[in-house]
């Protein structure tokens, strides 16, 4: 089985040509779709007026239900060129568009629909960093598309071939950065001497990844998330000594401590590193995991798929298995770090969106992340989210969290 390929597809690097293409597409598609010189492609109400007060002051926005919603999404694959191919479900012909006709309604209030004008005014002269894996990028691209009704950023990434991105909105002097760090800790890819497709990542479970830790102090807002990559075969190091592994045989001479060991340790050390940053002045938001359990009728590598066309109700979902274990560990580590932060007079925030997303098995690309006739070694994607799609609410939530 081509495990390596599959994992790469599920959680792997963005094609490096994405940003180069983006520039090309802006020049071609934007003109084609009549965006150039027009600015705002929609007739949607873009006038923001009311004083901005977060509903979080009186409402738990993370508990609720999905309810039918007639309003069209703010963007689509024709108005937003920043959707990554694998999540571009409309472009690749997903037939049922019912999954776009739902809105998240918290139990105690209405969650205000994302207002890009208001958001951009609010974040003027500020900066936002996303730290994590391809789901963090999925989240970021949702934000880029929501904002595309008003403005497109300039890609000012230092090195367009890496996963790290920097986008700048000139008119608002607002910067969005992506720091690729799928394990949050220092990690090394499987070496060339490892078994070809099942090589083990090396995780340094007591060292937060310096590539983001050294950078986030200069940001006003930081969104941190991670989960899926802990499902990869890994070797665990502490004090630079091999202490254990996951999905490993006896050949390494250390115990299989399981992926739960690495996931918990990684969150602990990442959050400790954040709390240890004396110069940090921004607000850090931790996003709870996106469910990994939406494959039905088989596991991801055994023909499992996500073909539903409607959300579930809350009482039809149960968090269990890996989702539940990851959730509990992440929550415990967050609560401990939150206390430590409070002792320093700081605030860590939690975007607890797992329950809401658990109700959306209908929101994934499945096989609509590529052309039907395209020859690709791909499994059904029930991990990432279609754009537009349910994770647009992560940005509704994010805005309310920044307003608190």
Ligand X SMILES: *[C@@H]1O[C@H](CO)[C@@H](O)[C@H](O)[C@H]1NC(C)=O
- Active-site residues: which are they? 134, 381, 384
- Interface with ligand X in residues 86-105 (CB under 6 A): none
Residues sharing a CB contact under 8 Å with residue 362, sequence separation 6 or more, in sequence order: 98, 99, 306, 308, 309, 310, 311
Would you put residue 326 in left (φ > 0), alpha (ψ -120 to 50) or beta? alpha
Look up residue 356 and give its DSSP letter: H
**Which is closer to ligand X, CB of 206 or CB of 305?**
305
CB closer to ligand X, 226 vs 285: 285
Report which of 128, 51, 180, 133 is spatially closest to residue 395, judged by C-alpha positions: 128
Identify residues 267-296 at the interface with ligand X (CB under 6 A): 296
Cα(2)–Cα(358) distance, rounded to whole angstroms?
28
Is 294:361 a contact under the CB 8 Å cutoff? yes
Q: Which two structure tokens, joined as six digits, stand for 340?
A: 């430590």
Q: Which helix (H) or strand (E) holds 268?
A: helix 258-275
Q: How many whole angstroms separate alpha carbon 149 and alpha carbon 115? A: 10
* Beta carbon of residue 313, minimum distance to ligand X (angstroms, whole number): 5
Instruction: Determine the interface stretch with ligand X among 82-90, 124-132, 157-165, 245-253 (rule: CB under 6 A).
Output: 124-132
Give the nearest distance from C-beta 302 to ligand X in angstroms: 13
Of 125 and 240, nearer to ligand X (C-beta) is 125
Q: Which of 402, 317, 403, 303 is nearest to 354 (CA)?
A: 317
Spell out the residues 6+ positions from residue 38 whose beta carbon is closer than 8 angstroms to its own. Answer: none
CB of residue 300 to ligand X, shortest distance in Å:
13
Q: How far is the CB of 29 from ligand X (least distance, A)?
A: 29
Site size toward ligand X, by CB under 6 A? 12
Range in contact with ligand X (rule: CB under 6 A) among 46-54, 125-133, 194-202, 279-287 = 125-133
Nearer to ligand X, 102 or 236 (CB): 102
> Between residue 147 and residue 176, which ones bind ligand X under the rule CB under 6 A?
173
Question: Is there a contact between 97 and 141 (Cβ–Cβ < 8 Å)?
Answer: no
Measured from the CB atom, the residue of 92 and 221 that comes closer to ligand X is 221
Q: Using CB under 6 A, which residues numbered 295 to 334 contact ligand X?
A: 296-297, 305, 307-308, 313, 315-316
Q: Residue 125, interface with ligand X (CB under 6 A)?
A: yes
- What's the closest the beta carbon of residue 305 comes to ligand X, in angstroms? 5
Rounded distance, CA 73 to CA 100, Å?
Answer: 7
**Residue 127 contacts ligand X per CB under 6 A:** yes
Binding site for ligand X (CB under 6 A): 125-127, 173, 296-297, 305, 307-308, 313, 315-316
């Amino acid at each position: 089985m081509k495990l390596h390929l599959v994992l790469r597809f599920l959680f792997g690097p963005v094609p490096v040509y994405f940003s180069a293409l983006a520039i090309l597409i802006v020049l071609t598609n934007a003109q084609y779709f009549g965006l150039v010189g027009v600015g705002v492609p929609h007739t949607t109400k873009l006038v923001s007026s009311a004083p901005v007060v977060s509903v979080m002051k009186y409402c738990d926005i993370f508990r609720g239900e999905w309810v039918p919603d007639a309003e069209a999404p703010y963007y689509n694959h024709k108005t937003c060129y920043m959707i990554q191919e694998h999540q571009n479900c409309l472009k690749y012909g997903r037939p049922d568009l019912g999954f776009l006709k739902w809105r998240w309604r918290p139990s105690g209030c209405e969650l205000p629909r994302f207002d890009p004008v208001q958001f951009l005014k609010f974040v003027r002269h500020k900066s936002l960093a996303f730290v994590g894996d391809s789901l963090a990028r999925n989240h970021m691209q949702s934000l880029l598309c929501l904002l595309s009704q008003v403005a497109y950023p300039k890609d000012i990434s230092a090195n367009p071939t890496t996963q790290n991105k920097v986008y700048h909105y000139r008119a608002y002097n607002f910067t969005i950065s992506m720091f690729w760090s799928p394990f949050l800790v220092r990690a090394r890819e499987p070496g060339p001497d490892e078994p070809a497709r099942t090589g083990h990542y090396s995780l340094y479970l007591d060292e937060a990844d310096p590539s983001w830790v050294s950078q986030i102090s200069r940001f006003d807002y930081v969104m941190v998330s991670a989960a899926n990559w802990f499902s990869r075969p890994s070797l665990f190091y502490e004090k630079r000594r091999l202490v254990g592994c996951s999905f490993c045989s006896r050949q390494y001479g250390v115990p299989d401590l399981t992926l739960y060991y690495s996931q918990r340790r990684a969150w602990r050390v990442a959050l400790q590193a954040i709390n240890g940053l004396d110069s940090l002045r921004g607000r850090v938001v931790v996003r709870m995991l996106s469910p990994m359990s939406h494959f039905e009728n088989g596991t991801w590598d055994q023909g499992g798929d996500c073909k539903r066309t409607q959300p579930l109700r809350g009482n039809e979902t149960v968090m269990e298995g890996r989702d539940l274990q990851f959730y509990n560990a992440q929550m415990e580590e967050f609560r401990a770090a939150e206390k430590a932060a409070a002792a320093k007079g700081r605030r860590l925030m939690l975007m607890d969106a797992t329950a809401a997303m658990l109700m959306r098995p209908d929101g994934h690309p499945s096989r609509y992340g590529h052309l039907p006739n395209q020859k690709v070694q791909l499994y059904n994607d029930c991990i990432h989210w279609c754009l537009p799609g349910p994770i647009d609410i992560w940005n509704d939530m994010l805005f309310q969290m920044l307003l608190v």
